[in-house]
Structure 1
Amino acid sequence: MAHTAELSTDKPADRSPSRAARLARDFALNKYLYIMMIPVVVYYLVFHYAPMYGALIAFKDYSPMKGIVGSDWVGFRHFADFFNSYYFWRILKNTITISLYSLIFEFPTPIILALLINEVRHKTFKRVAQTITYMPYFISLVVICGIITDFTNADGIINRIFVWMGYDGQAMLQRPELFRSIYILSEIWQRIGWESIIYIAALMGIDQEQYEAARMDGASRFKQMMHITLPGIMPTIAIMMILRMGNLLNVGFEKIILLYNPITYDTADVISSFVYRKGLLEFGWSYSSAVGLFNSVINLILLVTANYVSRRLNDSSLW
């Protein structure tokens, strides 16, 4: 009996499978999913991670004849030159200003459009409204910028309307104080429909029984939107906000370059357009790489910070 009691007090052996065994079993169960994932992994390794090796030229005096390895090492000299240059505060200020304007004015507009479309009961009108708002996104950026330039020229239709209202008639893109407003308004027009798709999809996942219960309790459509619809898509809004914060300083240089000119550099020149000019037009490869690397590090810090804050506030995060 004593021997039996002694045996009963022994702890059972730990027979949980090892991590390798669990991975092997998971691969056996989902092998086709792993096979489908291979092209995506290869794509990111080849086109996203392998090119990061080239960031070394930010710390070297790069010469195409010597190559990345053979070029002279200069450490943080290019970073110091950038931080001490006249352009540093100008382009940093412009980048942050345009990014904040975009975050404040452009980010909420797709959410508002999705909420409005969700409230429309006429299916034909809803389809027409969605199609019209989607269309500008699929137009070439060069064409978009050409339209903006033509409409805001001295004899453009928008400029003529403003002249009729008392404007002096000067081409709008020649006035530095108007560049940011034109850029943000055109961004809203171009992207509002496309970016609303993800919010419309999130709205489809809300339980319709909540609306029925709210209507039975006498809640108006506005109260249903405030207390059911918005909380239902809040996790999606949080994720999109995190992604936007991670690209806060990545103001698209293509549109900036197509719209700006030396007259508007003081308010239009941003980090990405500065990197383009220094790297491709003036052949300052190492200097422009240092500026681009600085921009990427700041974006990474903003992404991690936004993810942490979102996870603490509403339990929604990327990781």
Structure 2
Amino acid sequence: MTMLRQQQQAAPASPARSGESRLGRLIKDMSRDKYLYLLALPGVLFFLIFKYVPMWGVVIAFQNYSPFAGIIHSDWVGFEHFQRFFSNPEFMLLFRNTMAINLLSLIFFFPLPIVLSLMLNELRSVLYKRVVQSVVYMPHFLSWVIISGLTFLLFAKGEGLVNKMLEAIGLSRIDFLTNSNLFWGMLTMQSIWKECGWGTILFLAAMAGIDPQVYEAAKIDGAGRIRQMWNITLPAIRSVIVILLILRLGHMMDVGFEQVFLMYNGAVSEVAEVFDTYVYRVGIQQAQFSYSTAAGLFKSVVGLALVVVSNWIAKKLGEDGVY
């Protein structure tokens, strides 16, 4: 009898009891940390309402969707819209423009917040550092409508400030806004001016966690400012750089509809038409909802694949990765 009781006591709990205990622990944790859960609630609701719930709508990419029949009663057509999208002569044009703009952003824009963070981190005057940070942060809070308006005021051929300055010094005016050769560069410069300062926040936060004694030891060993940045600061923020790079690669099919749409004109249509503007033109203006959803789903799948592959490569190279 004694051995039987010991075996019963040592026996694992039933799945129901195990589930109840997990539920009880969850309730206990939520009760203990209720303010932290309340703090996280707005963010959770945002992603549920605006990110996860709308994902149900991607099923219309496999249907001949009719607003009158609804998602449930629309006819299923399988991959017909995807075949039409990939066989469309415009597909390669869209792919070229989207990739070119994103590659320029990746090459010229992505490293600049790192460089700016390193420069700000070297400032010894706290007041001057805060003033510079505030100045470079401000463009982030301007809408793309204002940014585009400022671009037109500066670079318009007739009344633009830059062209007036060129004319004043004896040079000919340059058609910045309708020159297809300059369009990708204009978009990249806009992104740099607007978001470069804001992109320094995470890097400066990572630099703030570096032990000052490490720098002091490097000074004793004779390391200068450049050597300290190369051997101490950059390795300390390497994991942040890798994570942000992986996330950036996930948006290689996204250019930003608002920015391109506001700068779009007929003279640059060959280099300005990207997946985002194409989805708007076909899906909203022409009401081809299923076809445009297929194009948007293609973008998302490519972005997910890039994140998974780049995260796998990062882990193979010894980094933590995103997950």
Instruction: Summarize the Cα distance change of 1:187–1:43 in structure 2 as closer, same or farther, 3 Å threshold.
Output: closer
Aligned to 2:106: 103
Aligned to 1:45: 48
Aligned to 1:118: 121
Instruction: Summarize the Cα distance change of 1:97–1:157 in structure 2 as closer, same or farther, 3 Å threshold.
Output: same
CA distance in 1, matches of 2:209, 2:145: 37
Local SS of the residue matching 1:120: coil
Instruction: Summarize the Cα distance change of 1:82–1:166 in structure 2 as closer, same or farther, 3 Å threshold.
Output: farther
Deviation at 1:21, TM superposition (A): 3.4
User: Are the counterparts in 2 of residues 159 and 172 from structure 1 also a CA contact under 8 Å?
Assistant: no
Percentage of pairs with the same residue: 41
Q: For this pair of structures, how many residues does the alignment match? A: 309
CA distance in 2, matches of 1:167, 1:69: 63
Deviation at 1:182, TM superposition (A): 0.5
Instruction: Summarize the Cα distance change of 1:20–1:265 in structure 2 as closer, same or farther, 3 Å threshold.
Output: farther
CA distance in 2, matches of 1:119, 1:137: 23
Instruction: Summarize the Cα distance change of 1:172–1:212 in structure 2 as closer, same or farther, 3 Å threshold.
Output: same
CA distance in 2, matches of 1:195, 1:118: 14
- For residues 177-236 of structure 1, the C-alpha deviation after alignment (integer angstroms, 9 at most, x for no partner) is 100001001110110111111111111001111001101111111101100000011111
Deviation at 1:46, TM superposition (A): 2.6
Aligned to 1:159: 163
Deviates more, 1:279-288 or 1:29-38: 29-38
Alignment of 1:44-123 (within 5 A): 44-123=47-126
Instruction: Summarize the Cα distance change of 1:18–1:67 in structure 2 as closer, same or farther, 3 Å threshold.
Output: closer
CA distance in 1, matches of 2:11, 2:195: 56
CA distance in 1, matches of 2:114, 2:42: 33
Aligned to 2:259: 255
Unpaired runs of at least 5, structure 2: 1-6
Deviates more, 1:241-250 or 1:176-185: 241-250
TM-score of the aligned structures, taking structure 1 as reference length:
0.90
* Amino acid in structure 1 at the alignment position of 2:49: V
Unpaired runs of at least 5, structure 1: 1-9
Deviates more, 1:25-34 or 1:262-271: 25-34
* Amino acid in structure 1 at the alignment position of 2:320: S
Deviates more, 1:145-154 or 1:161-170: 161-170
CA distance in 2, matches of 1:279, 1:142: 23
Paired residue for 2:242, among 238, 241, 266? 238
TM-score of the aligned structures, taking structure 2 as reference length:
0.89
Alignment of 1:201-240 (within 5 A): 201-240=205-244
Supply the RMSD in Å over aligned alpha carbons. Answer: 2.3
User: Are the counterparts in 2 of residues 95 and 251 from structure 1 also a CA contact under 8 Å?
Assistant: yes
Deviates more, 1:40-49 or 1:137-146: 40-49
Paired residue for 1:139, among 138, 142, 153? 142
CA distance in 2, matches of 1:240, 1:297: 19
Instruction: Summarize the Cα distance change of 1:164–1:300 in structure 2 as closer, same or farther, 3 Å threshold.
Output: farther
* Amino acid in structure 1 at the alignment position of 2:55: M
CA distance in 2, matches of 1:133, 1:174: 29
CA distance in 1, matches of 2:206, 2:11: 44
User: Are the counterparts in 2 of residues 278 and 284 from structure 1 also a CA contact under 8 Å?
Assistant: yes
Deviation at 1:125, TM superposition (A): 2.0
CA distance in 1, matches of 2:170, 2:66: 55
